[in-house]
Amino acid sequence: MNGGEEENRTTQNIRLLPSPNPYSQKRSSKMPSSPLSPPPPQPLTPQSFRLGCRNGTYNTTTTLTIPTVQCNLLALPSRYAPSFAQLCARNPVSCPLLYSTLPGSPTTPLAPGANLTTDLPKYNVYKDGKLLTPDGTASVEEYWTRDHVGFLIGCSFSFEWALSAAGFPPKHTLCVPVKCVPMFRTGIPLSPAGEFTAGCVVVSMRAYKERDVEEVRRITRSFRRQHGEPVAWGWDGARMLGIEEKVRKGLVDFGEWVEIDGDAGEVPVFWGCGVTPQVAVMESRIEGVVISHVPGCMFVTDVPVEEEEEDPSPKL
């Protein structure tokens, strides 16, 4: 791995927040501040959420917790880093790469002060492609060696705020308590890269009325580094992905099932999903210790979710 300035390794399209965090200031300024009122509750900030993960307060899905960019995490021995970066480059809808760490450094400028080994709600640890921690683990400090390189990958949770704001809240976000989005392993193979020779595309599913699919496509399209627009939709789409039966029966591979109300005109809509690399690690039998998040339990950054501006000219 090359060295270089940590700040420079951040992708240019993501604006970093200056410190102190204006997001939390903005939220605070809306709170009542009269001396006659009781002291206002502290709003949940990315920093306080991550601290809550670190001290064990939060250990479940990050769906709609904080309106900043959320990330999938995958950390692996440095010898696999070049191939993994290529896997991301060749499969950018499944694996939109936002940042990679220096070997051994569990930090990122996307969340200054954060520790990637403690600040996620729950982790999966793999050894030689097999899951070591079937119930997840709250910290991976003991597994993350000086040789581990961490990759942060965009997540569709980042655009759920925009869907909700536009009047299309994903159904799992309306459940009480909030559910984790349903996810499926498809029959679509990944484009291989180096040691990553096996694995399939994993998708998240949200049900929408068929007549709303075009609008939902439009809303999510500009979130290019959070999987962007759907990869397929409708029952024809489910068939094309090779998962019609699983979806009809509600047999999720990850996350929690949420009904599709066919009588109300709903159909399944599928997006790329950052659980994909975990399947690639398992199916390619990557050797050594690989660290990831439990699906749905994401890394919450300080980066505000902003739609990437549509550029009418092709990006070359």
Per the CB < 8 A criterion, the answer to whether 150 and 75 are in contact is yes
Q: Which stretch binds its own copies (CB under 8 A): 53-61, 157-165, 169-177, 224-232?
A: 224-232
Amino acid at 27: R
52 vs 288, beta carbon nearer its own copies: 288
Q: Minimal CA–CA distance to 184: which of 167, 207, 201?
A: 201
203 vs 294, beta carbon nearer its own copies: 203
Interface with its own copies (CB under 8 A), residue from 58, 126, 151, 157: 151
Per the CB < 8 A criterion, the answer to whether 102 and 149 are in contact is yes
Contact flags string 263-282 toward its own copies, x per CB under 8 A: ---------x----------
Per the CB < 8 A criterion, the answer to whether 198 and 129 are in contact is no
63 vs 100, beta carbon nearer its own copies: 100
Q: Which stretch binds its own copies (CB under 8 A): 24-32, 63-71, 153-161, 304-312?
A: 304-312
Q: Which stretch binds its own copies (CB under 8 A): 28-36, 80-88, 154-162, 283-291?
A: 80-88
In angstroms, rounded to a whole number, what is the distance separating the alpha carbons of residues 90 and 82? 12
- Provide the residue count of the chain: 316
In angstroms, rounded to a whole number, what is the distance separating the alpha carbons of residues 126 and 287? 9
Put residue 31 in one of left, alpha, beta given phi > 0 → left and psi -120 to 50 → alpha: beta
Does position 207 bind its own copies by CB under 8 A? no
Per the CB < 8 A criterion, the answer to whether 95 and 292 are in contact is no
209 vs 221, beta carbon nearer its own copies: 221
Interface with its own copies (CB under 8 A), residue from 116, 183, 231, 281: 231
Output the smallest distance, CB 76 to its own copies, in A: 12
Output the smallest distance, CB 297 to its own copies, in A: 24
Interface with its own copies (CB under 8 A), residue from 36, 176, 264, 316: 316
Q: How far is CA 147 from CA 106, 107, 116, in A?
A: 11, 14, 14
Interface with its own copies (CB under 8 A), residue from 15, 31, 40, 89: 89
As separate numbers, helices (DSSP H) first and strands (DSSP E) second, the chain gives 8, 11
- What are the residues whose beta carbons fall under 8 Å from the beta carbon of 250, sequence distance 6 or more? 182, 257, 259
Interface with its own copies (CB under 8 A), residue from 92, 104, 136, 304: 92
Q: Cis peptide before 169, with omega less than 30 degrees from 0? A: no
Output the smallest distance, CB 238 to its own copies, in A: 12
In angstroms, rounded to a whole number, what is the distance separating the alpha carbons of residues 72 and 50? 15
- What are the residues whose beta carbons fall under 8 Å from the beta carbon of 216, sequence distance 6 or more? 163, 168, 206, 208, 230, 269
Output the smallest distance, CB 83 to its own copies, in A: 9
2 vs 29, beta carbon nearer its own copies: 2
Does position 194 bind its own copies by CB under 8 A? yes
User: Within 117-146, which residues bind its own copies (CB under 8 A)?
Assistant: none
Does position 310 bind its own copies by CB under 8 A? yes
Interface with its own copies (CB under 8 A), residue from 22, 40, 113, 189: 189
Residues that bind its own copies (CB under 8 A): 1-2, 4, 9-11, 81-82, 84-86, 88-90, 92-93, 97, 99-100, 151, 188-189, 191-194, 221, 224, 228-232, 240-241, 272, 310-316
